[in-house]
Structure formats: structure tokens, C-alpha cells
């Protein structure tokens, strides 16, 4: 398996958090990334939505929390990654 891209998020007022990008896609003009907290093996995954404006120097990502949006985007990622099954908590 190829080495996954590692990205660091800096939530406001919190310590930086590292994630590994499993996949990315664009749906309806919106960019989404599927990230996990571990480089290999089973880990917690999040679907993040790019909410930054055009021309911003840094990306702004928020966790997808709307149930309908989450189910739709998770379905796309499951189709893209045949060996991955996403489960909601």
C-alpha cells in the first residue's frame, strides 16, 4: 500500500491534530476528504468538507455532521475504496 498523505489540522484554541488522507472527492462543486487517525489498520475516520472561500491561503475544513449529507458522501467513498466499510457511531 502506498504511503498516505499526512495533514495537520489546527482547531482554534486547541493542539494540532494529525490525520491521514484515505481519499478525496468533489460532489456538487464541494471538496470532501476522508481521513483517519492511524496510518495503517483500523482507526476512526471522519469525512471533512472544505468550507474555505476561493483565494484563501489555507483550507478550512469542517466535520460533516448532517446525517443525509454524511450518508451520501460516505456512500461515494465506499464505492471508491472497495476494501473499506464505513460505519457510523
Q: What is the pLDDT of residue 2?
A: 52
Flag the least confident range among 24-28, 39-43, 55-59, 85-89. Answer: 85-89
Q: Residue 10 — φ and ψ, nearest 5°?
A: -120, 85
Beta bridge partners of 61: 50
Q: What is the pLDDT of residue 84?
A: 58
Q: Give the Cα separation of 24 and 48 in Å (integer).
A: 9
On the question of pLDDT at 83 being above 70, the answer is no
Q: Give the Cα separation of 80 and 89 in Å (integer).
A: 21
Radius of gyration of the chain (CA): 13
Interval 11-30 mean pLDDT: 89
On the question of pLDDT at 43 being above 50, the answer is yes
Check residue 72 and report its DSSP letter: H
Q: Where are the domains of the chain?
A: 5-80
Cell 483500523 belongs to residue: 42
Q: What is the pLDDT of residue 79?
A: 85
Amino acid at each position: 500500500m502506498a504511503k498516505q498523505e499526512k495533514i495537520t489540522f489546527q482547531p482554534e484554541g486547541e493542539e494540532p491534530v494529525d490525520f491521514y488522507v484515505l481519499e478525496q472527492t468533489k460532489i456538487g462543486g464541494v471538496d470532501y476528504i476522508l481521513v483517519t487517525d492511524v496510518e495503517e489498520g483500523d482507526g476512526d475516520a471522519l469525512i471533512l468538507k472544505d468550507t474555505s472561500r476561493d483565494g484563501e491561503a489555507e483550507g478550512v475544513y469542517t466535520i460533516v455532521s448532517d446525517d443525509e449529507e454524511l450518508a451520501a458522501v460516505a456512500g461515494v467513498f465506499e464505492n471508491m475504496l472497495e476494501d473499506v466499510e464505513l460505519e457510523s457511531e
